[in-house]
Amino acid sequence: MARSKDKKGGGVLFGPVLICVAIAAMWKNEGRFDYHLAAKATDPIVELASAEAGRLLSYTEAMDRELLITGGYVESFTGYMIVKRSAEIYCWDRDEDDDGHVTWSKAWMNHVQSNSRNRGLSQRLSSKEFRPPAYQIGKLAIQASGVEFVDDYTSIAASVLQLNAEGKSKNLSVKNQYFYLSKGAGQVIGDERLSFSGVPVPPTGTYFGKYDGARGVPHQAVARGGLIDDLIRDTGVLHHIVGGEREVALVTMREHITKLKWTIRIAGLVGTSFGFLILFSSVVGFLYHIPVIGYFAERGVFIVSVLLGLIVSLITIGMSYLINHPVILVISLFAFVAAFLLLRNKAFASQQRMKERVDRDVGHRVNTEELAELQFVQLLRLANADQNVDIEERKYLKKWAKRHRWSKEKLAELVERANSSEKVDSSSGHAGEQLRALIRLALADGQLHRYEFNAINDAARQFGYSSSELAKTIREVKAEA
User: What are the helix (H) ranges across 124-241?
Assistant: 165-169, 227-231
The amino acid that residue 291 corresponds to is: P
Q: State if pTM tops 0.85.
A: no
pLDDT of 449 reads 63
Q: What is the 3-state secondary structure (H, E, C) of 77-141?
A: EECEEEEEEEEEEEEEEEEECCCCCEEEEEEEECCCCCCHHHCCCCCCCCCEEECCCEEEECCEE
Express each pLDDT in 87-127 by its tens digit.
Answer: 999 999 988 776 678 899 999 999 999 998 999 899 999 99
Higher local confidence (pLDDT), 3 or 54: 54
**Whether residue 416 has pLDDT greater than 70:** yes
- Angle at alpha carbon of residue 340, lines to 336 and 346, rounded to 5°: 145
Mean pLDDT of the chain: 83
Rg of the chain on CA atoms, in Å = 36
Of 60, 305, 326, residue with least CA distance to 204 = 60
DSSP state of 63: B
Of 126, 115, 129, 128, residue with least CA distance to 181 = 126
Higher local confidence (pLDDT), 406 or 324: 324
d(CA 367, CA 353): 15
d(CA 366, CA 322): 47
Of 438, 444, 441, residue with least CA distance to 470 = 438
Percent of the chain predicted with pLDDT > 90: 48
d(CA 281, CA 97): 10
Express each pLDDT in 129-160 by its tens digit.
Answer: 999 999 999 999 999 999 999 999 999 999 99
Averaged pLDDT, 275-292: 67
d(CA 275, CA 354): 52
b/e burial code for range 236-250 (CB count within 10 A of at least 16 → b): bbbbbbbbbebeebb
Question: Could you tell me which residues come within 8 angstroms of residue 317 by beta carbon, excluding any fewer than 6 positions away?
Answer: 26, 30, 265, 268
